[in-house]
Amino acid sequence: MSASNVAAVPAAKVEANQVLVQGRVEDVREWESGDTSGYVTTVKLPAADQYSSAATVEVSSRRKIGKGGEEIRILCNLGGFRKRVNGKDFVNMRLVAVE
Protein backbone atom coordinates (compact mmCIF):
# COMPACT_ATOMS: atom_id res chain seq x y z
CA MET A 1 0.00 0.00 0.00
CA SER A 2 1.42 3.37 -0.97
CA ALA A 3 1.67 5.76 1.97
CA SER A 4 0.63 8.73 -0.19
CA ASN A 5 -2.74 7.12 -1.02
CA VAL A 6 -3.61 5.78 2.42
CA ALA A 7 -4.97 8.13 5.05
CA ALA A 8 -4.44 7.14 8.65
CA VAL A 9 -7.84 7.05 10.33
CA PRO A 10 -7.67 6.32 14.07
CA ALA A 11 -10.36 3.89 15.27
CA ALA A 12 -11.58 6.45 17.81
CA LYS A 13 -12.57 8.78 14.94
CA VAL A 14 -15.07 6.29 13.46
CA GLU A 15 -18.52 7.28 14.69
CA ALA A 16 -21.95 5.66 14.52
CA ASN A 17 -23.13 5.05 10.95
CA GLN A 18 -19.62 5.35 9.56
CA VAL A 19 -17.41 2.69 8.01
CA LEU A 20 -13.71 2.49 7.14
CA VAL A 21 -13.30 1.21 3.57
CA GLN A 22 -9.94 -0.22 2.55
CA GLY A 23 -9.24 -1.87 -0.80
CA ARG A 24 -8.10 -1.49 -4.40
CA VAL A 25 -9.68 1.02 -6.78
CA GLU A 26 -11.19 -0.82 -9.76
CA ASP A 27 -12.91 2.08 -11.53
CA VAL A 28 -13.60 5.81 -11.15
CA ARG A 29 -16.58 7.51 -12.83
CA GLU A 30 -17.24 11.23 -12.83
CA TRP A 31 -20.85 12.42 -12.55
CA GLU A 32 -22.54 15.75 -13.03
CA SER A 33 -26.05 16.93 -12.21
CA GLY A 34 -26.82 20.58 -12.75
CA ASP A 35 -24.27 22.59 -10.78
CA THR A 36 -23.19 19.58 -8.66
CA SER A 37 -20.52 17.08 -9.62
CA GLY A 38 -18.44 14.36 -8.04
CA TYR A 39 -17.05 10.86 -8.42
CA VAL A 40 -18.19 7.29 -7.88
CA THR A 41 -15.25 5.04 -7.08
CA THR A 42 -15.59 1.25 -7.32
CA VAL A 43 -13.44 -0.41 -4.64
CA LYS A 44 -12.66 -4.14 -4.43
CA LEU A 45 -12.24 -5.20 -0.80
CA PRO A 46 -9.85 -7.95 0.28
CA ALA A 47 -11.43 -11.39 0.71
CA ALA A 48 -11.75 -12.71 4.26
CA ASP A 49 -9.77 -15.83 3.32
CA GLN A 50 -8.53 -17.72 0.28
CA TYR A 51 -11.91 -19.44 -0.24
CA SER A 52 -14.11 -16.33 -0.06
CA SER A 53 -15.01 -13.95 -2.87
CA ALA A 54 -13.87 -10.36 -2.58
CA ALA A 55 -16.65 -7.83 -2.01
CA THR A 56 -17.01 -4.76 -4.21
CA VAL A 57 -18.49 -1.42 -3.07
CA GLU A 58 -19.02 2.01 -4.58
CA VAL A 59 -18.02 5.18 -2.74
CA SER A 60 -19.44 8.58 -3.72
CA SER A 61 -17.26 11.65 -3.20
CA ARG A 62 -16.89 15.28 -4.25
CA ARG A 63 -13.18 14.83 -5.03
CA LYS A 64 -11.29 12.00 -6.68
CA ILE A 65 -10.13 9.55 -3.99
CA GLY A 66 -7.91 7.32 -6.13
CA LYS A 67 -7.24 5.91 -9.57
CA GLY A 68 -7.34 2.38 -10.99
CA GLY A 69 -5.02 -0.05 -9.23
CA GLU A 70 -4.31 2.15 -6.20
CA GLU A 71 -5.02 0.91 -2.71
CA ILE A 72 -7.05 3.34 -0.61
CA ARG A 73 -8.35 3.65 2.94
CA ILE A 74 -11.19 6.11 3.42
CA LEU A 75 -13.76 6.93 6.07
CA CYS A 76 -17.35 6.91 4.76
CA ASN A 77 -20.80 7.76 6.05
CA LEU A 78 -23.16 4.81 5.72
CA GLY A 79 -26.68 5.48 4.52
CA GLY A 80 -29.35 4.02 2.33
CA PHE A 81 -33.04 3.55 1.78
CA ARG A 82 -35.67 0.87 1.47
CA LYS A 83 -38.04 0.57 -1.46
CA ARG A 84 -40.79 -1.82 -2.46
CA VAL A 85 -41.04 -2.99 -6.07
CA ASN A 86 -43.71 -5.43 -7.26
CA GLY A 87 -44.39 -6.49 -3.67
CA LYS A 88 -40.73 -7.16 -2.85
CA ASP A 89 -38.59 -5.13 -0.46
CA PHE A 90 -35.16 -3.92 -1.55
CA VAL A 91 -32.53 -2.09 0.50
CA ASN A 92 -30.05 0.19 -1.22
CA MET A 93 -26.89 0.93 0.79
CA ARG A 94 -24.91 4.10 0.08
CA LEU A 95 -21.32 4.96 1.08
CA VAL A 96 -20.31 8.62 0.95
CA ALA A 97 -16.73 9.67 1.65
CA VAL A 98 -16.21 11.91 4.68
CA GLU A 99 -14.43 14.95 3.27
What's the CATH number where 83 sits? 2.40.50.140
pLDDT in tens, 4-43: 455 555 655 888 999 999 999 999 999 999 999 999 999 9
Residue 52 lies in a domain: yes
How many angstroms separate the CA atoms of 95 and 99, rounded? 12
Residue 75 lies in a domain: yes
Contact 95, 77 (CB under 8 A): yes
pTM, two decimals, is 0.79
Residue 5 lies in a domain: no
Residue 29 lies in a domain: yes
- H or E element: which one contains 77? strand 71-85
Task: Give Cα 63 distance to the centre of its chain.
Answer: 13
How confident is the prediction for the chain on average, in pLDDT? Answer: 88
Residue 1 lies in a domain: no
Bridge-based pairing state of the strands 56-61 and 18-33: unpaired
How many angstroms separate the CA atoms of 32 and 12, rounded? 34
Domain extent, residue 39, equals: 11-97
Count of the separate structural domains present in the chain: 1
Residue 89 lies in a domain: yes
